[in-house]
Chain A
Amino acid sequence: AQRVTQPEKLLSVFKGAPVELKCNYSYSGSPELFWYVQYSRQRLQLLLRHISRESIKGFTADLNKGETSFHLKKPFAQEEDSAMYYCALSGQGAQKLVFGQGTRLTINP
């Protein structure tokens, strides 16, 4: 079975502080992992995916197959990072995305 767990429903940090949003997954094959973000009153949009190995808006995420994790990190949080973040998994041969419950990130000034 495919499962994505985001243990923190809410996360609040101060501007300039490091931020880490946790994501753990359960899948026996080779997954594709994604982070999607939903800013206030905007649609869900892709932030980054592990295959790209990019840094988007200062965020990075590394797939750790040993720990089955795909945590999202940013060294210095900005107020505009406040949003809902979803970790998602796509399994081999599967066409759907399996989402975690989401983490609401609030950056305090």
Chain B
Amino acid sequence: GAGVSQSPSNKVTEKGKDVELRCDPISGHTALYWYRQSLGQGLEFLIYFQGNSAPDKSGLPSDRFSAERTGGSVSTLTIQRTQQEDSAVYLCASSLSLGQKNIQYFGAGTRLSVL
């Protein structure tokens, strides 16, 4: 079946612009996660959803970052007033349900470049 789908695959934007990154999880997966992969920082957790709720937003680096999930499926990560330090690969993952033992399946990522 189809895996986690992310769009766009690449995004180049100017400093100060807003961007939206989209994630389509695997059908039937109730849990969805966003991570960021950047040079020097490795892979860092941003936020997760169970259904449409986001109980843990602790990983969002600033209030310029927000995310939502609608219909228990598609999620959008929005970065407002982008800065150069936001340049990274943003990864989305989904799992069948929450829980320590659940396997997270990753998308191919969106590479964001802020000029």
Contacts and interface: CB of A to CB of B under 8 A. Distances in A.
Interface residues of A, number: 25
B43 A99 contact: yes
A56 to B, nearest CB: 13
Select the residue from A49, A86, A99 with max chain B CB neighbours within 10 A: A99
A104 B74 CA distance: 32
A45 B35 CA distance: 14
Contacts, number: 54
A44 B103 CA distance: 12
Task: Indicate the size class of the contact surface on chain B.
Answer: 20 to 34
A31 B100 CA distance: 8
A44 B106 contact: yes
A17 interface: no
Given A32-B101, A91-B100, A95-B56, A43 B106 contact: yes
Contact of B42 (A51, A94, A102): A102
B42 A49 contact: no
Given A95-B56, A99-B42, A46 B98 contact: no
A44 B45 contact: no
Interface of A: 31-32, 34, 36, 43-46, 49, 51, 86, 88, 90-102
Interface of B: 3, 31, 33, 35, 42-45, 48, 50, 55-56, 59, 91, 98-101, 103-109
